[in-house]
Amino acid sequence: MEENSNQCAAESAAIPLNMQGESNDGEERDPESISLSQPLLRRNRTLSSSPLAIVGAKVSYIESLDYEINENDLFKHDWRSRSKVQVLQYIFLKWILAFLVGLLTGIIATLINLAVENIAGYKLLAAVSFIEKERYLMGFIYLAGANLLLTTVASVLCVCFAPTAAGPGIPEIKAYLNGVDTPNMFGATTMIVKIIGSIGAVSAGLDLGKEGPLVHIGSCIASLLGQGGPDNHRIKWRWLRYFNNDRDRRDLITCGAASGVCAAFRAPVGGVLFALEEVATWWRSALLWRTFFSTAIVVVVLRTFIEICNSGGCGLFGKGGLIMFDVSTVTVTYHMMDIIPVVVIGIIGGVLGSLYNFLLHKILRLYNLINQKGKVHKVLLSLSVSLFTSACLYGLPFLVECTPCDSSLAESVCPTNAGSGNFKKFNCPDGHYNDLATLLLATNDDAVRNIFSTTTSTEYHPISLLIFFALYCILALFTFGIAVPSGLFLPIILMGSAYGRMLGIAMKSYTNIDQGLFAVLGAASLMAGSMRMTVSLCVIFLELTNNLLLLPITMIVLLIAKTVGDSFNPSIYEIILHLKGLPFLDAHPEPWMRNLTVGELADAKLPVVTLRGIETVESIVEVLRNTTHNGFPVIDDGVVPPVGLAVGATEVHGLILRAHLVHVLKKKWFQREKRRTEEWEVREKFTWVELAEREGKIEEVAVTSEEMEMYVDLHPLTNTTPYTVMESMSVAKAMVLFRQLGLRHLLIVPKYEAAGVPPVVGILTRQDLIAYNILNAFPHLTKTTSREKGN
């Protein structure tokens, strides 16, 4: 646990969603005005509360990750003794793991696409066959029954076996790469349930995509490869154990997240930039190269399978299957007046995106109340959404009139009831098609491909597009949050493309831009307005459309949509992070944090627990049993200092981790006399590799009364180079340092030396730097915050 987690939170259940806070003057605040500053979890109004978050189906304790290199004597000796061959082997193995991440992600993504296209495709063909025979009721029963069965499989797996597999998983990946260890997020069971659940949920026609789950699946693959397999069946090869630490695991999960985006959109550069812009907190050039290598492998795998399936050996997975929006046939020409519709699209996208975030926030809070009632309610909620979705997809096409086919089209093209095509016959007579059925009774990928199609200015009627847009707005709000794997990309793309086409029809006489291109721009603007991505999203759409000429107008749309959206509320992923209670450190500190010092934070916490360089076993056991701290400063008194200093100085030797103390107790590395150990004595008992692993608990250690009186030399295991800050440093500056370096502990040292002043006055951890916790501990800052906002 964190250094500040010395008391367990008294209340760990989720709070009612209508909880109201009180302002400084005693007046009640509107609960909606503080919804983001008060997550769903109740926390004590102190800096010593345990971090809690909603992980999967329950409230869990949250730990931070040790990304910092622990430079103790063992680590220094290990790097000094490594030969060039061993260093090259370590680097080579990093590339091998990056290759395996890309390979396995590409294979699993292809299998998911194959399954979805065939299950959903044959299901829709069977339903249409009933419609052709005018057995409309049987068609609905078959479609709804199949969708309910697929939804049941996905929901039951998530509820009963892997609750962390529900949802997209991207917010939790962002939190992990930010330094938050969310339990059970990257296990083998989670990955298997995510794969099967994604197939079931997407095949059931629910308004969700497989893009978010693919990012999570790629991260699970990377994590499992890095740690040698599942927790209960790990491979203990020596070379693989070098990667079983938080730092290397973080790099692998970054490669996995980028590979998942690449597998979803077939956009390798976009996947790398998505990882850089959206999920990763830490980045460096070496990681950039390995991430790009992983996404390149994914593209090669996808292209290979596409070539194989073009022969027709993959069932309905033929021409499509992978999301590929090809508008490269559009002749892109610009005029000064075309800037007006482009700007309008961006503004509408920003407004709609922020409105979508606001409404989804309310729906998720409502769903939290329902999900608290138990597993049965979670499954029933999923089935209710599935039944409503089936009724809308099947029934709404009956409300629109049939459209005669264009005489210029071949009879084999219009109408058709085949697996793919732009002109679905549905219930229409020969020579006519139903434009709404073309969009609704199709797989998700085909629906996107149809609405993005070019040179089809007369194919879709405005009324049909309006119904399609309204339906998917409703479905997107009520589908996300149920207990199935779900992605946000596809619902937002469908909504955005619908209003983009409607805007294209409205401005048909003022611009020459194709309606298919309007749909692409609409989808891009709504994604930027909701997710607040710019660079990565721009590159993804360029790779999808195969048209570099779209770059200027795409950039304009994305910049405008993000700017408009940011003026209303945070991105959807930030909202989900706050709702789950995950202690995510933002890139930019609050302005009022410059008015508070880290010394004042230290005063609000309990006194620091320190250990001596040579400590008794009894003291170590007592500290470990009575606290949940993760790190302890090691202090030596009466040290003979260098020339020029007073004799009997106090030395801050460094910081020792809880896991290392547990290792010492488990291995019984005790001595009867109080002395410093030799370097060879340490190397005989410990290796740097095993100390990098976080395993073992104090409850598993048995120490006899005789051993309690023995001593332990902590010097060789202590990190002698911990990061420190002076107590006069502002919280804002400390937060930037903490986040950019990926720290778990930050020692606070006094500004002045004086008698009675300890050498370490406090330890900053992630929980101490969360704005919500600081405001709870320092209520007077609320007025400062309001005043700064007014300025």
Most confident of 52-66, 372-386, 498-512, 775-789: 372-386
Q: Give the confidence band of 345 by pLDDT, cuts at 50, 70, 90.
A: very high
Task: Indicate the SS3 state at residue 442.
Answer: coil
**3 state SS of 52:** strand
User: Which domains are present in the chain?
Assistant: 88-311 (1.10.3080.10), 338-371+389-396+443-580 (1.10.3080.10), 591-789 (3.10.580.10)
Report the alpha-carbon angle 414-418-419, nearest 5. 130
Confidence of residue 40 (pLDDT cuts 50, 70, 90): low
Across-strand partners of 639?
649
Mean pLDDT of the region 743-749: 92
| Residue 353 scores a pLDDT above 70 | yes
User: Is residue 481 scored above 50 in pLDDT?
Assistant: yes
pLDDT recorded at residue 79: 73
Spatial separation of the C-alpha atoms in residues 424 and 414, rounded to whole Å:
7
Nearest to 70 by CA among 629, 657, 678: 657
pLDDT value of residue 319: 54
Quick one: pLDDT at residue 334? 65
* Confidence class for position 433, pLDDT limits 50, 70, 90: confident
Q: Residue 442 class from Cβ within 10 Å (0-12 exposed, 13-18 middle, 19+ buried)?
A: buried
Report whether 275 contacts 258 (CB < 8 A).
Answer: yes
Measured CA to CA, the distance from residue 263 to residue 297 in angstroms comes to 10
Residues 131 and 136: their CA atoms lie apart, in Å, by 5
pLDDT above 90 as % of the chain: 40
Q: Which of 11, 13, 31 is nearest to 21 (CA)?
A: 31
Structure tokens at 587: 């890139």
Within 10 angstroms of residue 412's Cβ, the number of other Cβ atoms is: 9
Phi, then psi, of 730 in degrees rounded to 5: -70, 155
Give mean pLDDT, residues 435-462.
Answer: 84
Least confident range from 27-36, 205-214, 548-557, 782-791: namely: 27-36
Q: Tell me the three state secondary structure of residue 68.
A: coil
Cβ proximity of 724 and 747 under 8 Å: yes
pLDDT band at residue 329 using 50, 70 and 90 as cut-offs: low
Answer yes or no: is pLDDT of 716 > 70.
yes
pLDDT in tens, 63-96: 888 888 888 888 887 777 777 887 888 888 899 9
Mean pLDDT score of the chain: 83
Q: What is the CA radius of gyration of the chain?
A: 29
Q: Give the mean pLDDT of 179-205.
A: 92
pLDDT at 38 over 60: no
Beta-strand runs (E) in 173-320: 180-181
Among 784, 791, 779, 789, smallest CA distance to 24 is for 779
Categorize the per-residue pLDDT at 45 as very low, low, confident or very high, splitting at 50, 70 and 90: very low
Above 80 in pLDDT, residue 509?
no
Contacts of 619 (CB under 8 A, 6+ apart): 611, 612
pLDDT for res 96: 93
- For residue 646, what are the contacts with CB-CB under 8 A and spacing of at least 6? none
Q: Are strands 746-749 and 724-726 parallel, antiparallel or unpaired?
A: parallel
Cα–Cα nearest to 318, from 329, 326, 328, 309 = 309
**pLDDT tens, position by position, 372-408:** 888 999 999 999 999 999 999 999 999 988 888 877 7
Q: What is the model's pLDDT at position 32?
A: 34
Q: Is 411 exposed, middle or buried (0-12, 13-18, 19+ CB in 10 A)?
A: exposed
CB atoms within 10 A of CB 674: 13
Whether the bond between 591 and the residue before it is cis, its omega within 30 degrees of 0, is no
Q: Report residue 643's pLDDT band, with 50, 70 and 90 as the boundaries.
A: low
Secondary structure E strands in 576-710: 611-612, 614-616, 631-639, 649-657
What pLDDT sits at residue 189?
A: 93
The per-residue b/e assignment along 554-566, b for 16 or more CB within 10 angstroms, e otherwise, is bebbbebbbbbbe
> What does pTM read for this prediction?
0.88
For the stretch 101-126, what's the b/e string if a residue is b when 16 or more beta carbons lie within 10 angstroms of its beta carbon? bbbbbbbbbbebbbbbbbbbbebbee
- Cα 376 to Cα 150, 191, 204, 379, 467: the distances in Å are 17, 23, 20, 5, 33
Contacts of 275 (CB under 8 A, 6+ apart): 254, 255, 257, 258, 261, 291
Other CB atoms closer than 10 Å to residue 90's CB: what's the count?
14
- Compute the distance between CA of residue 661 and CA of residue 586 in angstroms, rounded to an integer: 32
Tens of pLDDT, residue by residue over 545-596, are 777 778 888 999 999 999 999 999 999 999 999 888 888 988 888 888 898 9
What pLDDT is recorded for position 28?
37
In 3-state terms, the chain is what percent helix, strand and coil (to 5)?
Answer: 55, 10, 35
Here the tokens at position 410 are 């071949």
- For the record, the structure tokens of 239 come out as 């070379």
Closest to 325 (Cα-Cα) out of 564, 531, 485, 541: 541
Cα of 365 vs its chain's centroid, Å:
19
Closest CA to 169 of 153, 156, 182: 182
How do residues 114-156 score in pLDDT, each as one tens digit?
999 889 988 988 998 898 888 999 999 999 999 999 999 999 9
For residues 599 and 613, give the distance between their C-alpha atoms in angstroms, rounded to a whole number.
Answer: 25
Which residues pair with residue 230 across a beta bridge?
A: none
Residue 179's closest CA among 110, 250, 232, 127?
A: 250
Bridge partners (DSSP) of residue 59 are 54
Cα–Cα–Cα angle for 675, 676, 681, nearest 5°? 115
CA-based angle 368:370:371, to the nearest 5? 65
Per-residue HEC secondary structure of 464-480 comes to HHHHHHHHHHHHHHHHC
Hey, is 197 helix, strand or coil?
Answer: helix
Amino acid of residue 93: L
Q: Name the least confident of 5-14, 354-363, 596-605.
A: 5-14
Categorize the per-residue pLDDT at 648 as very low, low, confident or very high, splitting at 50, 70 and 90: low
Strands (E), 164-268: 180-181
CA dihedral 82, 86, 91, 96 (to 10 degrees): -150
CA distance 371 to 363: 12
The 10s digit of each residue's pLDDT in 206-262 is 999 888 999 999 999 999 998 877 767 666 666 666 677 788 889 999 999 999 999
